[in-house]
Amino acid sequence: MAEIQSLARGLKILNLLEHARNGMGTTEVANQLSIDKSSASRLLHTLANYGFVEQDEQTSRYSLGPQLVTLGQHLLNRITLRDHARPYLHELVDKTGECAHLAIQAQRQALYIDQVESTAALRVESEIGTLSPLHCTALGKVMLAFGDCRIPDELKTFTHRTVTDRSTLEAQLAQTGRRGYAIDDEEYNYGVRCVAAPVYDHRGALVGAIGISGPAGRVTLERIDEFGAVVKDIAAALSTRLGFDVRLRQTLDGDE
């Protein structure tokens, strides 16, 4: 497949700067890429606008920018979270009999980064890499209720049970915060109920959500509290594994 030339050049610039201890000037970049200086300047300015490179005001030389650090940190967090979460996902399946999922917030949606399937013939699976809305999934509601995600401007309808009224959703999220876990009562898919709880890191920051999904015939409303307690306890154990101290969260909540 053919490359997009300007994108390829931008990536090559990042590779060059990675090995340039004192940064590089526009002319040096142009020479290394065998392009004219004006083209190199435009590429560098574009990368700088998005935080991938930064220019020293004194020397006018370019070096790698803070956005790369942010992306790298997110990647490390995801890898670490997924590795640590795996045995807890298995525990969720063992204790509930339903598929267990792990998600993080991405692009203002819930991104599934891992799952462990149930052994039941009838089960609810979500492909890793799937993005799901925040307002009508249990994992997404965790991010709205316990994290710093804002309620989406558009509350799209997926089933007749999807909450599309903002004030009603706000009340639901407040209740979610009080009980410590979120519920999707056939709001995203008919015949499917889900329960999820927050996962915190050593700073007391929400880093993801862990939960289960199952057929409504098994995940009944009468058993929601039972499932909720299990999910909440396992999410808390995972948070502790990540270095979370509940006293820190209580302090942070008290400051809000």
Residue range 59-73, pLDDT digits in tens: 999 999 888 877 776
The arithmetic mean of pLDDT across residues 215-222, rounded, is 94
* CA proximity to 47, closest of 18, 21, 76: 18
Is 5-64 in CATH node 1.50.40.10? no
CATH number for the domain running over 72-255: 3.30.450.40
Give the pLDDT of residue 168.
96
The strand pairing partners of 194, in sequence order, are 184, 213
Please state the separation of Cα 106 from the chain's center in Å: 4
In this prediction, residue 75 has a pLDDT band, given cuts at 50, 70 and 90, of: low
Give the pLDDT of residue 80.
78
Position 120, amino acid: A
Position 117, amino acid: E
Please state the separation of Cα 55 from the chain's center in Å: 30
State the average pLDDT for the chain.
89
CA quadruple 76, 79, 82, 87: dihedral positive or negative? Answer: negative
Q: Are 219 and 195 in contact (CB under 8 A)?
A: yes
Whose tokens are 């009562």? That residue is 185
Give pLDDT tens digits for 169-194: 999 999 999 999 999 999 999 999 99
Q: Where are the domains of the chain?
A: 5-64, 72-255
Token code pair at residue 182: 């979120």
Give pLDDT tens digits for 230-256: 999 999 999 999 888 766 555 545 555
* CA proximity to 233, closest of 211, 202, 208, 201: 211
Give the pLDDT of residue 250.
54
Whose tokens are 């098994």? That residue is 218
CA quadruple 214, 218, 224, 225: dihedral positive or negative? Answer: negative
H helix runs in 147-191, sequence order: 166-179
Question: Count of residues for the chain?
Answer: 256
Q: Is the pLDDT of residue 21 over 90?
A: no
Give the Cα separation of 112 and 104 in Å (integer).
7
Q: Is the pLDDT of residue 216 over 60?
A: yes
Provide, rounded to the nearest whole percent, the portion of the chain with pLDDT above 90: 66
Give the pLDDT of residue 34.
94
Provide, rounded to the nearest whole percent, the portion of the chain with pLDDT above 70: 92
Give the pLDDT of residue 232.
96
Give the pLDDT of residue 253.
53
Q: Is the pLDDT of residue 18 over 70?
A: yes
**Of 1-10, 118-127, 214-223, the least confident:** 118-127
Q: How far is CA 24 from CA 11, 30, 46, in A?
A: 15, 10, 16
Token code pair at residue 107: 């692009």
